[in-house]
């Protein structure tokens, strides 16, 4: 088998992570093996974490993030960079294990954007991955080099978001 795709969900609108989960659900339904690695850990226990537990071993979510806060690129601490590298090493191990049909690297675009991971390192892993493996990268500000390499790129564009009206994050919508 070959022909795995590189898929990117980027943009400032909502739906990047949830669209990736949708593809994961679709693949898992066919008995394919899906792994989602979350690089930036939220503060909520998300519904998808609980729902996907019921789909193991076909669909698994692993939270790698250390919960660091977004800062300006130049201000990333040594610790954040080190943590990012540990997470990335784990991701590489899983990618090259050849156990999966689809690996979702959730918020990896942000990790590159924040200067926590080197884009060329990511590109070389994507190029050398098992040929059948689909890789989905999510997160705002996808790097130009990632966009160039990808087979499919979708930009979520915000038209309206309830946050602007002061509506707080809701169960089943945001987490």
Q: Where does this chain bind ligand ATP (CB under 6 A)? A: 12-18, 138, 140, 156, 158, 161, 163, 169, 174
Residue 151 binds which entry of Mg ion, ligand ATP, none, with Cβ cut-offs from 5 to 8 Å by kind? none
Phi, psi dihedrals of residue 90, rounded to the nearest 5°: -65, -45
- Closest CB to ligand ATP among residues 127, 165: 165
- Closest CB to ligand ATP among residues 94, 174: 174
- Closest CB to ligand ATP among residues 33, 140: 140
Smallest gap from Cβ 153 to ligand ATP, in A, equals 14
Smallest gap from Cβ 124 to ligand ATP, in A, equals 25
What tokens appear for 106 in the block? 């959730």
List of residues 6+ apart from 164 with CB closer than 8 A: none
CA 6 to CA 47: how far, in whole Å?
26
Helix/strand/coil percentages in the chain, nearest 5: 40, 15, 45
Q: Total residues contacting Mg ion (rule CB under 5 A)?
A: 2
CA 4 vs. chain centroid, Å, equals 16
Which of 9, 17, 38, 58 lies at the binding interface for Mg ion (CB under 5 A)?
17
Helices 78-97 and 119-128, packing angle to 10 deg: 10
The answer to whether 170 and 14 are in contact (CB under 8 A) is no
Smallest gap from Cβ 104 to ligand ATP, in A, equals 11
Residue 145 binds which entry of ligand ATP, Mg ion, none, with Cβ cut-offs from 5 to 8 Å by kind? none
Binding site for Mg ion (CB under 5 A): 16-17
């Amino acid at each position: 088998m070959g022909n795995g795709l590189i898929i990117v969900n980027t943009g400032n609108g909502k739906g990047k992570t949830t669209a990736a989960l949708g593809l994961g659900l679709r693949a898992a339904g066919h008995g394919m093996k899906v792994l989602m690695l979350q690089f930036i850990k939220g503060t909520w226990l998300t519904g998808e974490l609980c729902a996907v537990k019921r789909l193991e071993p076909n669909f698994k979510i692993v939270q790698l993030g250390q919960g660091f806060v977004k800062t300006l690129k130049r201000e990333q601490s040594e610790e954040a960079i080190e943590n990012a590298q540990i997470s990335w090493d784990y991701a590489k191990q899983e990618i090259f294990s050849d156990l999966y049909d689809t690996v979702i690297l959730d918020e990896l675009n942000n990790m590159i954007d924040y200067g926590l991971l080197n884009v060329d390192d990511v590109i070389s892993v994507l190029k050398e991955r098992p040929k059948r493996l689909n890789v989905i990268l999510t997160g705002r500000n996808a790097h130009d080099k990632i966009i160039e390499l990808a087979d499919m790129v979708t930009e979520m564009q915000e038209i309206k978001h309830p946050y602007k009206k002061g509506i707080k994050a809701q169960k089943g919508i945001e987490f």
